[in-house]
Chain A
Amino acid sequence: MKEQEILRVEDLKKYFKIKRNALEKLAPKEQKYIHAVDGISFTVGEKEVLGFVGESGCGKSTMSRTILRLIEPTAGNIYFNGKDITAMRRHELRRNRRYMQMIFQDPFGSLNPRRTVSETLRQTIRIHRLVNTVEEEDNLIWKTLEEVELNPPDLYWDKYPASLSGGQQQRVSIGRVLILRPKFVIADEPVSMLDVSVRIGVLKLLLKIKEKYNISFIYITHDLSTARYVCDRIAIMYLGKIVEIAPTEEILQNPVHPYTNALLTAVPDIDPNIQVHDVPIKGFVPVIPGESAVCRFYPRCPYSMEKCGEEEPELLEYSKGHFVACFLKR
C-alpha cells in the first residue's frame, strides 16, 4: 500500500490572522486567529479520486491551495511522492509544480480572455519547456485538444475563451493541466458552474484521463451527487476538520456522523415519489472558531451529549476503511 501512495498530508493547519485596529494593537491584547484548516490528515493513492465535500466556509478551498503551497501552511507536512513539499526551496517547488496541478471552478475566469486556445496551451508548454521546436509545440497542442475531446482541433485552435461554451472552456483548462502529464490534480468544483447536461461529459473526461495517464485526483465540491459519480472515497469536512471519511458507496449507504446524515438528507432528489424531509439540524454554519477543544458540530447536533461539549472527538476507524469523528457511535 505504501508505495502506491502519491500524496500524504499530515496534520495540516492553516490559520489566518484576524486584523486588529490600531487601538487593539496598542492594547496588550492577544492576536486572534481563524482556524480555516485545523489538523487534517489523509492520503491519496495512485489513480485514486478522493472527494472533499462540505459547505461554503468549511475550509476545503483553503486546504487545496495549501496543499499546492499556493498559500503557506501554518503547520503540518505534505508529502508528494515521498518528498516533503513544505520543506522544498522555491526552485525545487517549481520543478515539482509541473506534476501537481489544479483545475478551478470558473473556467472563464481562469483562462486569459486575450489568448486563443492554442496560445493558452503554448504558453504552458513554453513555461515548462516541454518541447524544443514550434512544430513539436503544434503537435502537442493538437494531440491535447483531441485528448480533451475538442474535435476537430482546427475548429478551436484560434478561438478565444469568450466564444466557447462553459463546458468547452473547462475542457481547455483540463487540456492545459493534462499537457504537463501531472501525477496529481486538484479539481476545485470543476463542474458546478456548468449546465447539468454537459456536467457528466466533463466528469467522464476527468475519469478517462485519470485511467489513461495514472493521475490521482482530489475532487472538491459541495455537491454529493457528482462526488458519488467520480470519487473512490469521500471525506466530509466541517469547519476545518474531517468529520467522516469512507469509500463512496459506504458513506452514502451507511453515513455515521450526524452532519453527514444531514447533508445527505438535504440533497434534493429527482424522483417525484420521494417524500421530502426536513434536515435534522438547525441554525447556520458559525464562523470558524479559534482555539476550541470540543466537537465543532456540537452546537447544531441533534444528538449532542455532555461529553461533546467537553472533549474533541478523534477521527477513529468505525468499520474497515470508514473513519468517523463522533462520540456517539463508539
Chain B
Amino acid sequence: MSILEVRDLYIQYLTRKGAAKAVDGISFSVEKNTTLGLIGESGCGKTTTAMAIMRFIMPPGKIMGGKIIFEGNDIVKIPEEKIRNLRGEKLTIVRQEAQNALNPVMNIGDQIAEVILEHENISKRDAWERAKQQLDLVGIIHKRVKSYPHELSGGMRQRVMIAIATACNPDFLILDEPITGLDVIVQRQLLILINNLREKLNLTATFIAHDLSVISETCDNVVVMYAGKIMEKASKMDLFNNPMHPYSKALIKAYPSIRGEKKELMSIPGVPPSLIDPPRGCRFNPRCKYATHICREEEPEIREVNGHSVACHLIK
C-alpha cells in the first residue's frame, strides 16, 4: 500500500528572466515501511519536491499542477489549518544544515516538547518527559535536555533534529541531506541511527542526497532526477547493479570508491541545463554521449523495462 503518491507534479519559480521549471511533471509513490531515495545533482529539484510534500513552497515558487496524495488527502489542495495539523505529527522533515534549523535561543528540550504540545493534549511536564525519552532514543544522554544548540556538535544537533521529527510518531519522514557536511565517522553513526530508527518506529521515509553511497546504504527504492525530471526509477539493487539510463550510469561511474580495485572514473562533461529554457527533447541530451537525432527532438516518456521505469529513447 502506498502511503504517499506524487502525481504529475509541476513546480515553478518565477524569476525576472522567466519561469524556472524546478519540478516538471514527476510522479512516484512510496510504499508503507519502505524508504525512497531521491538523487541528483544540485538544482535538479530534489529539495523542491520535499518542500512541496510538506507544502512549504512559498512565492516566488508555485505548484502549477499535479497531486500529492498523502493518506487519502491531496496536500496541494487541503486547507492551511489541516496541513498545519499534519506537519510535525504525521508528516515531518529533517532539514539540511541542522545548525541553522534549530532555534538558537531555546534549549533543545523545549524545542522537542514544543512539537509534542502542539499536536497532543498532554501536560507540559509529560511533554518534557517525552523530550527526554526522545533524546535517549537518538543517543544523546537526557541530562543534556537543557543544552542550547550552540553547545552541541554538528552531529548532535542533527540528532536533535531527528528527535524533533520523530517525537509524534510520524507516518512519513523526509530526510533532506541529513548527513551532508559532517565528518565521516559522525556520518556513519547517524546512518546507523537512522537505519535503527526506521526499524524500531516502522518509518516510511524519503531520503534526499546527492551522495549515491548514502542512498545505497539506506533506501529500498531509488528515483534519479535530472533538471526537474525523473530519469529512472528502480529498486536499489536493480539501480546500482544494473543501471539503465545513461545519466544513472554516468553518476555511478563518477563515484570514487575506496573499496575493491581502483577503477577508472569518468566525469560527466558539461553542466546541468537552465531550468528557464531547458533543451529540447531529452534534458540530458547535451551531456549524453549516446544522444541521437530523436533525443534532441522528442522528449522521452517514462516506460517500464525489466522492472525499471526509465525515460530514454535508446532503451528498447
Contacts and interface: CB of A to CB of B under 8 A. Distances in A.
Interface stretch (A22-30, A153-161, A271-279, A313-321): A271-279
Interface string B256-271: 1111101001111101
Contacts of B211: 196, 268
Interface string A258-290: 000011111111111110101101001100000
Contacts of A265: 188
A76 B183 CA distance: 29
Contacts, number: 119
A167 interface: yes
B242 to A, nearest CB: 11
B185 A279 contact: yes
Interface string A178-203: 00000000000000000111111100
A276 B190 CA distance: 12
A177 interface: no
Contact of B251 (A197, A223, A269): A197
Given A228-B256, A270-B255, 20 more contacts: A195-B41, A196-B251, A226-B256, A262-B185, A264-B258, A266-B184, A266-B187, A268-B188, A268-B214, A269-B259, A270-B212, A270-B213, A270-B252, A271-B257, A272-B236, A272-B237, A272-B241, A276-B195, A278-B188, A279-B189
A200 B41 contact: no
- Interface range on chain B: under 10, 10 to 19, 20 to 34, or 35 or more? 35 or more
A249 B257 CA distance: 12
A266 B186 CA distance: 8
Interface of B: 41-42, 153, 155, 183-189, 191-192, 195, 210-214, 216-217, 236-237, 240-241, 250-252, 254-260, 262, 265-269, 271
A168 interface: yes
Contacts of A225: 255-258
Closest 5 CB pairs of A and B: A201-B267, A266-B188, A268-B213, A200-B267, A225-B256
Given A222-B183, A263-B185, A270-B212, A229 B267 contact: no
A292 to B, nearest CB: 21
Nearest to A270: B213
Interface string A5-17: 0000000000000
Contacts of B192: 276, 278
Nearest to B181: A192
A270 B258 contact: no
A274 B218 CA distance: 12
A243 interface: no
B240 A195 contact: no
Nearest to B237: A272
Nearest to A274: B259
A165 B268 CA distance: 14
B191 A268 contact: yes
B184 A267 contact: yes
15 contacts: A198-B268, A200-B265, A200-B267, A222-B184, A225-B257, A263-B184, A268-B191, A268-B211, A269-B258, A271-B260, A272-B216, A272-B217, A272-B236, A272-B240, A279-B185
A224 interface: yes
A26 to B, nearest CB: 28
Given A195-B42, A196-B255, A228-B262, A268 B267 contact: no
